Chains A and B, each alone.
Chain A
Amino acid sequence: MSVERNDRIFVGIVWGIVIIGLWEVIAFLLQNVFQDPMAATKLPYLHVIIATFIQNAGALLGAGLVTFSRAAAGFLVGGIIGIILAVIMSLSKTVERIGLPYLIISQMIPILALAPIIFNIVKDMDSARIIIAAYITFFPVAINMLSGLKAVERDQKDLLYSVAASQVEIYYKLMFPFSMPYLFTGLKIAAPLAITASILVDMLGSSSGIGVKILYALYSNSSNIFWAAVLTSALMGISGYYLVVLGEKVLLPWNKTSSKKGGDNV
């Protein structure tokens, strides 16, 4: 069932056209057939949104970049914490026993809903943002990395064991490289979430960032700007995801089965 590359590009283009077409048709129907008075707000024409986006590209992308870079900082911190947690849990059965249930419970705490409380505690926009983005990132990273570390085959370990390799060498030569695809599975899940977190904190009272743009547009009833800002934020989420995919392709050239590996289990 391998789909040819050319076929895939063709299919992709057709899908793109269909979606754009559908959007325009629905927007047309809303405005002219159903005569919805709110139509221009509910779903403006896509070409109008894109035009607005281009007109305000500088401002929107600038704001996007602010939000994006703060999300990246939190993503990095959370990723590192996740990796360290996974390594500690793989080293000690007791720590894993203690850690795993709380890791799962921690995910059930609606952290984004905690955002105002955290903001209230640290009083600083940027640290709140980094804390929340990090909190959201560390869980998928830790879980996936741990399942990678635990998926190492016994024989692969025994090979190093048989030549009396040290624990450090076993991690460095085997465990870490082996679990890289799993790590990336976690990072792929976390990337859009980190951006969501960053936008949310924008909205809670930051002075810059794409979330502020969305909020202002909502208050001032400028729906085209609102939609252009939403489009920007969606593009940010998608590009965050594909940046991780790209990183995986570059860093793991040997990994032809990345999609099959990785237990994005919870």
Chain B
Amino acid sequence: MKEKMLNIIWPLGFGIAILLLWQVGFLHMIFGLKPYQLPVPTAIAITLSNNLGKALTDCVVTISGALIGMAFGSLIGFMIAAIATFFPKWGYGGMIVVSAFNAIPLVALSSIMNLWFSTGMSQKIGVVTVVCMAAMSMNAYKGLNSLKPFSVDLMHTVAASEWTIFTKLRLPNCLPNVFTALKINIATAIMAAMISEYFASSTSGLGFAIKDSLRKGEMAMGWSYIVVASLAGVILYGIIILVERNAIKWHASQK
């Protein structure tokens, strides 16, 4: 119990200390910044509360795009991994191709999607889908195939079909990896959605809003959007962790 308290108190105290130092201008002093370059926390908070309605609307646009793309991408990625597992010889090559997708810079991807889709939303979903697909398929493939030694042999001795092996052995085994991928993907998805809004013709979303407020020189406004995006990310990340806890519990009890 005491451990748990410390786990909360220390980081919380640290965070408050940093915010205070930021507020009183200490951070500006050491980094040599002007207040308009790095607005103080209260200025950001005030801007945000005055602009809350629009900020939330933009947030919904970006996050919904990110989540839809993440769902598509994760699903496709998982299916690729599953297919590659059933056909190991050809699947292995397929996995290399998919991992190459992972190395395509986000910005290039975003420009391509800009050509393919006319609306900002579909373009955003396209970018996020590709980005999330790679991480999921690589992680899921690892989980589906890094089984304990002899566990497949054991299944073969009772003449289990490949399908049974898949559902009874591989699927539970890859669950932790799937969650790892989801945790990576949530951050990447939001980032990818915002980046694609930079380059899109869209006129809404957090990415566009940041670009717009910077063009107008409204730094505090820009920062307030960053805060919103980060908060959304942290909340979604927390939800995934909660689901993971329960799912892995189920996973352990199934063994």
Whether A and B touch directly in their complex, counting CB atoms under 8 A apart, is answered as yes
Q: Which residues of A contact B (CB under 8 A)?
A: 1, 3, 7-8, 11-12, 14-15, 19, 38, 41-42, 94, 97-98, 100-102, 104-105, 107-114, 116-117, 120-121, 192, 195-196, 199-200, 203, 211, 214, 218, 223, 226, 229-230, 233-234, 236-238, 240-241, 259-260, 264-266
| Complex Cα gap A223–B112 (Å) | 10
Contact A113 B111 (CB under 8 A): no
B9 to chain A: closest residue by CB: A97
17 extra interface residue pairs, beta carbon distance < 8 Å, beyond A117-B219, A120-B219, A233-B105: A1-B88, A3-B88, A8-B92, A15-B93, A41-B115, A42-B116, A94-B10, A98-B10, A98-B11, A108-B233, A111-B191, A113-B206, A116-B211, A121-B33, A192-B103, A196-B105, A203-B107
Flag B102-143 by CB within 8 Å of A: 1 or 0 each: 111111100110011000000000000000000000010010
Given contacts A11-B92, A214-B108, contact A121 B206 (CB under 8 A): no
Within 8 Å of chain A (Cβ to Cβ): is B229?
yes
Within 8 Å of chain A (Cβ to Cβ): is B6?
yes
Contact A108 B237 (CB under 8 A): yes
Given contacts A12-B96, A98-B14, A218-B111, contact A112 B191 (CB under 8 A): yes
Within 8 Å of chain A (Cβ to Cβ): is B222?
yes
Given contacts A116-B210, A117-B226, contact A11 B89 (CB under 8 A): yes
CB distance from A128 to the nearest CB of B (A): 13
| Complex Cα gap A222–B254 (Å) | 57
Name the contact of A120 in the complex, choosing from B207, B214, B237 (C-beta under 8 A).
B214
- Chain B residue contacts of A237, Cβ below 8 A: 103-105
Count residues of B near A (Cβ-Cβ below 8 Å): 57
Within 8 Å of chain A (Cβ to Cβ): is B56?
no
Contact A112 B214 (CB under 8 A): no
Contact A121 B38 (CB under 8 A): yes
Contact B230 A97 (CB under 8 A): no
CB distance from B251 to the nearest CB of A (A): 16
CB distance from B43 to the nearest CB of A (A): 14
Within 8 Å of chain A (Cβ to Cβ): is B184?
yes
Q: Give the top 5 A-B pairs by smallest Cβ distance, nearest first.
A: A108-B233, A237-B103, A196-B105, A15-B93, A266-B183
| Complex Cα gap A117–B226 (Å) | 10
Within 8 Å of chain A (Cβ to Cβ): is B155?
no
Contact B107 A200 (CB under 8 A): yes
Contact A104 B100 (CB under 8 A): no
Within 8 Å of chain A (Cβ to Cβ): is B223?
yes
> What are 13 A-B contacts with C-beta separation under 8 Å?
A3-B92, A11-B90, A12-B93, A14-B93, A112-B106, A113-B191, A117-B214, A192-B103, A214-B107, A233-B104, A234-B104, A238-B100, A238-B103
Main secondary structure of the interface of B (DSSP, over half): helix
Contact A230 B223 (CB under 8 A): no
| Complex Cα gap A236–B100 (Å) | 11
Within 8 Å of chain A (Cβ to Cβ): is B50?
no
Contact A234 B103 (CB under 8 A): yes
Given contacts A41-B115, A108-B237, A264-B180, contact A102 B15 (CB under 8 A): yes
Within 8 Å of chain A (Cβ to Cβ): is B146?
yes
| Complex Cα gap A110–B92 (Å) | 33
Flag B153-176 by CB within 8 Å of A: 1 or 0 each: 000000000000000000000000
A236 to chain B: closest residue by CB: B105
- Chain A residue contacts of B37, Cβ below 8 A: 120-121
Given contacts A116-B210, A120-B219, contact A226 B111 (CB under 8 A): yes
- Chain B residue contacts of A19, Cβ below 8 A: 97
Name the contact of A110 in the complex, choosing from B6, B214, B226 (C-beta under 8 A).
B226
CB distance from A94 to the nearest CB of B (A): 6
| Complex Cα gap A98–B111 (Å) | 39
CB distance from A206 to the nearest CB of B (A): 13
Contact A266 B226 (CB under 8 A): no
Beta-carbon contacts under 8 Å, B222-244 to A: 222-223, 226, 229-230, 233-234, 237
Contact B230 A109 (CB under 8 A): yes
A14 to chain B: closest residue by CB: B93
CB distance from A61 to the nearest CB of B (A): 16
Within 8 Å of chain A (Cβ to Cβ): is B178?
no
| Complex Cα gap A107–B236 (Å) | 13
Given contacts A42-B116, A105-B230, A117-B226, contact A110 B190 (CB under 8 A): yes
Beta-carbon contacts under 8 Å, B1-23 to A: 6-7, 10-11, 14-15
- Chain A residue contacts of B103, Cβ below 8 A: 192, 234, 237-238, 240-241
